[in-house]
Amino acid sequence: MVTATTLQADILRHLSFTVGKDPQNATLFDWRMALSHACRDRIMEPWFAATRRTWAEDRKRVYYLSMEFLIGRLLEDATINLGLHEEAEAAMRALGQDFRDVVGDEPDAALGNGGLGRLAACFMESMATLGCPSYGYGIRYEHGLFRQSFNAGRQIEAPETWLDHPHPWEFDRPEAQYVIPFKGHVETRNGAAVWVPGESVFAQAHDTPVIGWQARWANTLRLWSARPTDPFDLERFNHGDYTAAAQPETLARTLSRVLYPDDTTYQGKELRLKQEYFLTSAALQDILRRYLQSHADLRALPKHVAIQMNDTHPAIAGAELIRLLVDDHRMEFREALHIAQRCLGYTNHTLLPEALERWSTYTFGTVLPRHMQIVEQIDGWHLEEHRARPHYVGIVKHHEVRMGELAFITSHRVNGVSALHTDLVRKNLFPELNALHPDRIINQTNGVTPRRWLKMCNPALSGLITDTIGSGWEADLDRLKALEPHVTDPAFLRAFGEAKRTNKVRLAAWLQRTTGVVVDPDALFDVQVKRIHEYKRQLLNILETVARWKAIRENPDAGWVPRVKIFAGKSAPGYAVAKEIIHLINDVAAVVNNDPVTGDLLKVVYPANYNVSMAERLVPAADLSEQISTAGKEASGTGNMKFMINGAPTIGTLDGANVEILQEVGADNFFLFGLTAEEVVKRREDPEHARHAIEASQPLLDVLQMIAEGRFSPDEPERYHQLVHRVWNHDYFLVASDFDSYIQAQGEVDRAFSDRDRWLKMAALNTARSGYFSSDRTIRGYMNDIWDIDPAI
Ligand code: 26V
């Protein structure tokens, strides 16, 4: 039994003996380290026990390969899953510290760009909760996603430095170290291929335990850092060539230095390919070493090992596993390929053509000469197996290696991340491969962990839920259904509204501290937070904001519902159009927020540096969830699920998992608008679609004119000429065509919100019907349909 008193003693012990500080002089950081170590101690026993059981029962393990893990903070999450949250709060209070300040001192581990990386983090937590023996494999980037600030409304990027201070959650594993070769050439010796690398680095492991709900199981997140194989070329140094002498160290230091911050356009950079191979090769060497510790026959590998590729970033895994089996273990190529296929699964996360990875055969063949041969061999084999296949199907085409095709052909399952997306993967992305392998593509709709995204981030609502239906929903989110009978109970609705208001008051105070803008907690909090991308259409939202501003000014006494428009998100540093949209939002905010006519009826806020921790503040305080991508473009979305769980109805298009959200919650509790994916394709056939839509909509004409005239950029009236020109002439994402439908849906939102009981009922039904979107359900799907693993608990 852990009580606040024993925990307090542990904290003080760690403060003295681990941190080396007297309580008299301890800083916030010192207290955080002491508390983190006291919690970490309690993870060790379940962690060792899970590992021991996996070995003893010779259980199959999942290896989740991902270039990104967007973890966020770990301390509070650990206290929640250890069942120590109240004790930790009490202990810190007794020690004269504010628990919120202490957990808030932890920097986010921002080792990811957005949805794909955050999904990997939710999956790790769900696998630990379900007792699915697994390892996450990733890169221990020294610098995660850049820090965003605004200068006169423009995005500025600064390096992120999460490892500046000691990171209490990881264990260095100097004994787990592998050589990762690159470049060089391939020789044939005794009929066998021998890769003679031109350079190499070591991959060294750092392990972070991942504790599941109620500490019943724990897994490992193993992140690799690069180190030089030869620290220093002494001979070159002695000859006076100082730069060349440091070369081995330079390669190693750059390899795991920084996360690529562009998740929108694939660029074909050699360093990125090296990072991908670095992760994949280290992981596979580690997997085979572990397997061979207790098994002799590599042919049984698929019975014991499932390897999941998170998008194509680790798609070299198929070729690498074949290389290890053939070159190091003397297996025949076809047998090796068959084993690789049965081990591997591939998850696709995007249909956007500009984000699909294809390496020039030159870059690929230079960095990975042996893999180039193996890829051609795989391609040749596949052609031979399917002689009837169209000639244009294949991995290597037009001097490019297509990583999607490589991943597909080397896997036994390929999955999309929502029902609609999977459909489009079948029809548009891999139609020929799907025809050849009709059972390979399956759906696994994304989910999010309810421990972090409800229990932890929304104590007000989770308290009410537990008071109403008891506990147990944390690990069985479908139980939220039991809330449904209560949504007609005025007392419950009042309590639901109070919980939301508590969160909104807290957010309002924070917004004032960070942005200086004062907002009314009783206004409708309308939230769009995610990476800035044209297809996500933050532009549509800000155009509606301008239209609303104009309409309020023209008729201030028309009984408007006060709104706070909240935007947050980063643009890829080189994505000029997205940066322009950020600038416009900030410019509109500056004008609107200072307008005495509209006053509290409309505010626009854009707190800088959106990350996991900011999402944990925004999501519980949202009234309305903006999920307004051009239909057919958002693979799934996971933010949409977080808002739904926390009782925010969606205004959205029929895109990604919105389709399933609508299905679960019902049309009365969802503000649907816009063209469908099929209509989008149709609409683009009219080359004048934007012009036609604009000319048919006076509000849109007015808004575009105001922006073009410099109403929001008086210091530089032409600032948005290009942006407006693009809406008129190159509106690929159909902002103009969906504008009127969006305005109408926003009007519906106003009407619904002004009827408080109606709104609260909608909000509560969103929570009650959100059970499907737990990542526990998603992981069960992967375990059944892809990994063939039974839970250990
Ligand atoms: C792509 C690239 C391209 C090359 C360089 C670096 C880089 C890094 C990340 C990506 C991933 C883009 C794909 C992605 O994040 N997809 C999102 O995945 C979510 C989880 O499945 C899903 O909810 C979102 O709808 C989808 O956009």
Q: Read off the pLDDT of each residue in 612-641 and give the average, rounded to a whole number.
A: 98
Domains identified in the chain and CATH numbers: 521-778 (3.40.50.2000)
Q: Residue 149: is its pLDDT beyond 80?
A: yes
Which helix (H) or strand (E) element contains residue 705?
Answer: helix 698-708
Q: How far is CA 166 from the centre of its chain?
A: 25
Looking at the annotation, which residues are catalytic?
349, 530-531, 536, 638, 642
Q: Whose CA is nearest to atom 2 of ligand 1?
A: 263
Distance between CA atoms of residues 179 and 305, nearest Å: 22
Mutate to test the pocket of ligand 1, among 310, 312, 349, 660 (most ligand atoms within 8 A of CB): 349
pLDDT the model gives residue 703: 98
Q: Read off the pLDDT of each residue in 780-785 and give the average, rounded to a whole number.
A: 98
Report residue 716 as tokens.
């530089």
pLDDT the model gives residue 232: 66
89 C-beta closer than 6 A to ligand 1: no
Q: Ligand 1 center to residue 119 CA distance, Å? A: 10
CB contact at 8 A, 323 and 410: no
Over the stretch 713-757, which tens digit does the pLDDT of each residue have?
999 999 999 999 999 999 999 999 999 999 999 999 999 999 999
Distance between CA atoms of residues 389 and 766, nearest Å: 46
788 C-beta closer than 6 A to ligand 1: no
Mutate to test the pocket of ligand 1, among 65, 116, 655 (most ligand atoms within 8 A of CB): 116
Distance between CA atoms of residues 558 and 465, nearest Å: 37
575 C-beta closer than 6 A to ligand 1: no
115 C-beta closer than 6 A to ligand 1: yes
633 C-beta closer than 6 A to ligand 1: no
416 C-beta closer than 6 A to ligand 1: no
The tally of CA atoms less than 13 A away on the side-chain side of residue 252 is: 23
Q: Residue 243: is its pLDDT beyond 90?
A: no
Give the rounded percent of residues in the chain with a pLDDT score beyond 90: 94
Over the stretch 441-473, which tens digit does the pLDDT of each residue have?
999 999 999 999 999 999 999 999 999 999 999
List, in order, residues 6 or more apart from 454 with CB less than 8 Å away. Answer: 461, 462, 465, 474, 645, 646
114 C-beta closer than 6 A to ligand 1: yes
Q: Whose CA is nearest to atom 6 of ligand 1?
A: 263
Q: Read off the pLDDT of each residue in 263-269 and give the average, rounded to a whole number.
A: 87
For residue 356, give the DSSP letter. S
Q: Give the confidence band of 1 by pLDDT, cuts at 50, 70, 90.
A: low
263 C-beta closer than 6 A to ligand 1: yes
CB contact at 8 A, 412 and 375: no
Count of C-beta atoms within a 10 Å radius of residue 726: 18
Q: Ligand 1 center to residue 116 CA distance, Å? A: 5
Q: What DSSP string runs through 252-284? A: HHHHTTB----SS-----HHHHHHHHHHHHHHH
Q: Residue 242: is its pLDDT beyond 90?
A: no
pLDDT the model gives residue 241: 80
Q: What DSSP string runs through 669-683? A: GSEE-S--HHHHHHH
Q: Give the confidence band of 431 by pLDDT, cuts at 50, 70, 90.
A: very high
Ligand 1 atom closest to the Cα of residue 638 is 23
pLDDT the model gives residue 392: 77
Q: Ligand 1 center to residue 397 CA distance, Å? A: 24
Strand order in the sheet with 524-529: 602-605, 563-568, 524-529, 624-627, 650-652, 671-672
596-627 CB burial, b ≥16 within 10 A, e <16: eebeebbbbbbbbbbbbbbbbbbbbbbbbbbb
74 C-beta closer than 6 A to ligand 1: no
Q: Ligand 1 center to residue 218 CA distance, Å? A: 27
Over the stretch 157-198, which tens digit does the pLDDT of each residue have?
999 999 999 999 999 999 999 999 999 999 999 989 999 999
Max CA separation in the chain (angstroms): 88
CB contact at 8 A, 389 and 437: no
pLDDT the model gives residue 253: 86
Q: Ligand 1 center to residue 355 CA distance, Å? A: 8
Average pLDDT, the chain: 97
Q: Ligand 1 center to residue 373 CA distance, Å? A: 29
Distance between CA atoms of residues 624 and 763, nearest Å: 9
Ligand 1 atom closest to the Cα of residue 635 is 25
Sort residue 240 into left (φ over 0), alpha (ψ -120 to 50) or beta: left
- Nearest CA to 412 out of 382, 375, 441 is that of 441
Count of C-beta atoms within a 10 Å radius of residue 550: 15
Q: What are phi and psi of 300, to 5 degrees?
A: -90, 10
Q: Residue 489: is its pLDDT beyond 90?
A: yes
Q: Whose CA is nearest to atom 7 of ligand 1?
A: 263
Q: Is the dihedral of CA 76, 77, 78, 79 positive or negative?
A: positive
Over the stretch 519-564, which tens digit does the pLDDT of each residue have?
999 999 999 999 999 999 999 999 999 999 999 999 999 999 999 9
Q: Ligand 1 center to residue 281 CA distance, Å? A: 22
List, in order, residues 6 or more apart from 403 with CB less than 8 Å away. Answer: 312, 315, 316, 356, 357, 358, 359
Give the rounded percent of residues in the chain with a pLDDT score beyond 70: 99
Q: Give the confidence band of 378 by pLDDT, cuts at 50, 70, 90.
A: very high
Over the stretch 53-79, which tens digit does the pLDDT of each residue have?
999 999 999 999 999 999 999 999 999
54 C-beta closer than 6 A to ligand 1: no
660 C-beta closer than 6 A to ligand 1: no
Q: How many helices (H) and strands (E) does the chain have?
A: 33, 24
Q: Read off the pLDDT of each residue in 680-699 and give the average, rounded to a whole number.
A: 98
For residue 561, give the DSSP letter. P
List, in order, residues 6 or more apart from 655 with CB less than 8 Å away. Answer: 420, 627, 629, 630, 631, 632, 633, 634, 637, 677
